Amino acid sequence: MAGRGFYLAITGGIGGAKLALGLSRILSPEALVLVVNTGDDFEHYGLHISPDVDTLIYTLGGQCNQDTGWGRSEESWTFMSALEALGGETWFQLGDKDLAMHVLRTNLLQDGLSLGEITSKLAGSFGIQNSILPMTNDFVQTKVNTVDGLLSFQHYFVRERCKPVVREILYDGASIAAPNPDIVSALNDENLSGVILCPSNPFLSIDPFLSIGGVRDCLRNCRAPIIAVSPLVSGKAIKGPLAKIMSELSIPVKANSIAKHYSEFLDGFVLDNEDREWEQTITESGINALVTNIVMRTMEDREQLARDCIELIDRLAEKPLKKGGAKNDKPMGSDSG
Amino acid sequence: MAGRGFYLAITGGIGGAKLALGLSRILSPEALVLVVNTGDDFEHYGLHISPDVDTLIYTLGGQCNQDTGWGRSEESWTFMSALEALGGETWFQLGDKDLAMHVLRTNLLQDGLSLGEITSKLAGSFGIQNSILPMTNDFVQTKVNTVDGLLSFQHYFVRERCKPVVREILYDGASIAAPNPDIVSALNDENLSGVILCPSNPFLSIDPFLSIGGVRDCLRNCRAPIIAVSPLVSGKAIKGPLAKIMSELSIPVKANSIAKHYSEFLDGFVLDNEDREWEQTITESGINALVTNIVMRTMEDREQLARDCIELIDRLAEKPLKKGGAKNDKPMGSDSG
């Protein structure tokens, strides 16, 4: 990797945060910038809650609940029990420690700070040195159109436990939102070495960012290689409702569907050893494929997958990128995937 | 006491709540209506906090911290520690259980419920059957003009620990606020047997209510006896900054100063055995005096003082009240205090 170069990783919560953690452990703080989904953000009890931002902060700060993948380690639930005793809603669990983030964030928003400034401040409190950039400072809300009607993301995801059949996923506010300006600067920075789409749910965690005006153009025009890591292994999501949603949207639940989903700007795709059968299809579509272990059970798994991603990017950077058109105007080279 | 009669007790937090508890244990639920100060209410971290309402609810609900007199029993402070770690303000302690009250109250206010409706709902969750009426549904804020400048009540009381010398106490918003309509109805109810001003700080806990437009008139015209219990014993406040404030306001720190403070509508005054020396002065001012033990250490003390108050009221009700003028037009009778 280049001395002054840096990598941009785009992530949602749990699964993506695992790879972000691996990347943060093999790269210097200034060599990794993290873009995080805020399409899951919502107001609950007057509090502004940013689930993916918090999951990423807790994960990088070493204070994530290892059992659930979300929430804080050594969490307590006294507030929640007291709220329940008062007849309050309890479908969204608010831990006593976690609550401090929501209360402080809400207060700082009321004081006029942007979500980006607040995230930076909160991450700093956890000793995190990487830049964590919320995808936008505006309010973009993922909504799920289901057979039971239109649901806000948290109502679909947490309250209804993803049970209603999905017809369509919408990103309310995306057309009038602006991407976080620090992200646009990073994507246009000549020192950008590469972009990694973490193994998050494309529809719920990555597309909210992609749906913001100008972001797809930015990625199509990006001079650095862009790769994605599959969130599927053997047709199953490692965690979460991705497989269910894909089948409800009539999309084949296969790793190559993910590569295809990002194909307009994708240079490389990392898929699991179990999905080796799709390597050729992906390669033939003009995307470099890397087959490796993408299941991150241990910290070593996280670091190894991070290394695999960086190596793929660095290899792609050394040769003309497969993708032509708007992305770059160099002649197509041979595939080494 | 009359079969259908009821008593109205006006209280602030800790000390007053102790007598309210005693009253609640010797009277049937429908025979005791409680009026509580909301001049201490404030917004902190976007939450609407009603310290005296909550202290009263916790006390009557059997969930008050016995050591402090405020806050909840078996409280935990995980949220506060987490907030401190994030660099948040910690001068106002927010327990994990206590926080549930603030979050739910704030949310219900945003939903359009009145403070009275919310208090009723919250008290019901604690199994409290008495009516607890916040003094107003409007926002009246006690402010303390000190040698260090004008301070909001909680900044004076909690953050500055009552250290700045007091020049004047103001009740911001009182002139445009309306008393809780349920209180006005109760004061005009023909079944009202008597009014008890609990041993709360007159300046910080009772005057905010008295300062609301129409309340003093209502009390002056009240046909039922009105009594007060001294918050002072031997020139010292049982708890809190009352003695300090009185001396700073150049008011003698004596039980009879309290009787004098309420003299425009007061029929009876309960003072401690230690202050027997003031009995005659108070009696001569036209207020019936009852000398008894007013220090409430045990539950029996609370119940006994409650019985003393009810007996004094019932005795006053059986004869023409001493106070003449607007209060009633009966001839003055002899003093039996």
Q: At what angle do helices B96-110 and B51-60 cross, to 10 degrees?
A: 120
3-state secondary structure of A192: strand
Q: Do B85 and A110 touch (CB under 8 A)?
A: no
Q: Do B107 and A45 touch (CB under 8 A)?
A: yes
State the ipTM, two decimals.
Answer: 0.86
Identify the closest residue of chain B to A74 by CA–CA distance: B78
- A100–chain B nearest CA distance, Å: 5
* pTM > 0.90: yes or no: no
Q: Which among A99, A120, A128 is the top mutation candidate for probing chain B, defined by the most B β-carbons within 10 Å of its own β-carbon?
A: A99
On the question of pLDDT at A325 being above 60, the answer is: no
On the question of pLDDT at B321 being above 80, the answer is: no
**Encoding tokens for residue A305?**
């997958």
Residue A327 per-residue DSSP state: S
Strands (DSSP E) contained in chain A are 6-11, 32-36, 42-44, 47-49, 131-134, 141-146, 149-152, 166-172, 192-197, 226-229, 232-233, 236-237, 268-272, 288-292
Q: Which among A96, A102, A128 is the top mutation candidate for probing chain B, defined by the most B β-carbons within 10 Å of its own β-carbon?
A: A96
A113 touches chain B (CB under 8 A): no
Instruction: List chain B residues with CB under 8 Å of A123.
Output: none
On whether the CB atoms of residues A192 and A222 are closer than 8 A, the answer is yes
Note which residues in 6-25 of chain B have CB less than 8 A from chain A.
none
On whether the CB atoms of residues A96 and A41 are closer than 8 A, the answer is no
Spell A207-234 as b/e; 16+ CB within 10 A means b.
Answer: bbbbbbeebeebbeebebbbbbbbbbbe
A123 touches chain B (CB under 8 A): no
- Write down all domains in chain A, each with its CATH number in brackets: 6-140+181-317 (3.40.50.10680)
Q: Do A88 and B100 touch (CB under 8 A)?
A: yes
- The pLDDT assigned to A320 comes to 66
B3, with CB counted inside 10 A (0-12, 13-18, 19+), is exposed
> pLDDT, tens digit, for every residue of A221-275?
999 999 999 999 999 988 889 999 999 999 999 999 999 999 999 999 999 999 9
In sequence order, the β-bridge partners of residue A143 are A152, A170
A175, with CB counted inside 10 A (0-12, 13-18, 19+), is exposed
> pLDDT, tens digit, for every residue of B252-286?
999 999 999 999 999 999 999 999 999 999 999 99
CA B202, CA B200: separation in Å to the nearest integer?
Answer: 6
Helix, strand, coil % over all residues of chain A, rounded to 5: 40, 20, 40
Q: Do A104 and B79 touch (CB under 8 A)?
A: no
Q: Do B101 and A87 touch (CB under 8 A)?
A: no
pLDDT-above-90 percentage for chain A = 87
A1 touches chain B (CB under 8 A): no
Q: Do A107 and B82 touch (CB under 8 A)?
A: no
**Encoding tokens for residue B275?**
């202050």
Give the sheet arrangement for strand A192-197, strand by strand. A131-134, A32-36, A6-11, A192-197, A226-229, A268-272, A288-292
On whether the CB atoms of residues A27 and A125 are closer than 8 A, the answer is no
On the question of pLDDT at B23 being above 70, the answer is: yes
pLDDT-above-90 percentage for chain B = 87
Pairing of strands B226-229, B192-197: parallel
B267, with CB counted inside 10 A (0-12, 13-18, 19+), is buried
> pLDDT, tens digit, for every residue of B199-248?
999 999 999 999 999 999 999 999 999 999 999 999 998 888 999 999 99
Q: Do B97 and A78 touch (CB under 8 A)?
A: yes
CA A123, CA A102: separation in Å to the nearest integer?
Answer: 13
Residue with tokens 């953690």: A21
> pLDDT, tens digit, for every residue of B285-311?
999 999 999 999 999 999 999 999 999
B107 touches chain A (CB under 8 A): yes
> At B320, is the pLDDT very low, low, confident or very high (cuts 50, 70, 90)?
low
- Per-position DSSP letters for B227-245, written without gaps between them: EEE-SEETTEESSSSHHHH
> How would you classify residue A2: left for phi > 0, otherwise alpha for psi between -120 and 50, otherwise beta?
beta
Counting one residue from A and one from B, how many pairs have CB atoms under 8 Å apart?
88
CA A211, CA A204: separation in Å to the nearest integer?
Answer: 11
The three-point CA angle A18-A207-A242 to 5° equals: 60
- Per-position DSSP letters for B95-134, written without gaps between them: -HHHHHHHHHHHHHHHTT--HHHHHHHHHHHTT--SEEEE
The one-letter amino acid code at A275 reads D
Instruction: List chain B residues with CB under 8 Å of A122.
Output: 86
pLDDT-above-70 percentage for chain B = 94
B62, with CB counted inside 10 A (0-12, 13-18, 19+), is exposed
Identify the closest residue of chain B to A77 by CA–CA distance: B96
- B126–chain A nearest CA distance, Å: 8
Residue B119 to residues A157, B126, B134, Cα–Cα distance (Å): 33, 11, 7
CA A295, CA A293: separation in Å to the nearest integer?
Answer: 6
**Least confident residue range of A43-52, A224-233, A313-322, B166-175:** A313-322
Spell B166-175 as b/e; 16+ CB within 10 A means b.
Answer: beebbbbbbe
Q: Do A100 and B110 touch (CB under 8 A)?
A: no
- The pLDDT assigned to B337 comes to 34
On whether the CB atoms of residues B241 and B162 are closer than 8 A, the answer is yes
A47 touches chain B (CB under 8 A): yes
Q: Do B106 and A46 touch (CB under 8 A)?
A: yes
Identify the closest residue of chain B to A89 by CA–CA distance: B104
Q: Do B103 and A88 touch (CB under 8 A)?
A: yes
Instruction: List chain B residues with CB under 8 Å of A85.
Output: 100, 125
B4, with CB counted inside 10 A (0-12, 13-18, 19+), is exposed
- A153–chain B nearest CA distance, Å: 21
- The pLDDT assigned to A328 comes to 47
On the question of pLDDT at B327 being above 80, the answer is: no
Identify the closest residue of chain B to A110 by CA–CA distance: B46
On the question of pLDDT at B3 being above 70, the answer is: no
CA A17, CA A22: separation in Å to the nearest integer?
Answer: 9
- B110–chain A nearest CA distance, Å: 8
Helix, strand, coil % over all residues of chain B, rounded to 5: 40, 20, 40
On the question of pLDDT at A286 being above 90, the answer is: yes
